[in-house]
Amino acid sequence: MADSKKQIPLRLSAKLYDAIAAWAEDDFRSVNGQIEYLLTECVKQRKKNGKYVSEELDKPIELDIS
């Protein structure tokens, strides 16, 4: 069976999008691919130790990008 992917709408702030886009470019991925990679790594980490990647996960993100 082929690996099917679900499409979901996702809203990001412009600063967060720009940061992910720059990171994606560094890693030679699309923005979509970078988001999928990041989410996959977070799920793997949680499965490994039963904890979220960060205890600060639910705090608002403050991006100071110049």
Q: Which residue has the tokens 């890693």?
A: 27
Q: Looking at residue 31, what is its pLDDT?
A: 95
pLDDT digits (tens, 9 = 90+) for 5-56: 899 999 999 999 999 999 999 989 999 999 999 999 888 888 777 766 566 5
Q: Where are the alpha helices (DSSP H) in 1-66?
A: 14-26, 31-49
Q: Are 10 and 54 in contact (CB under 8 A)?
A: no
29: burial class by Cβ within 10 Å (0-12, 13-18, 19+)? Answer: middle
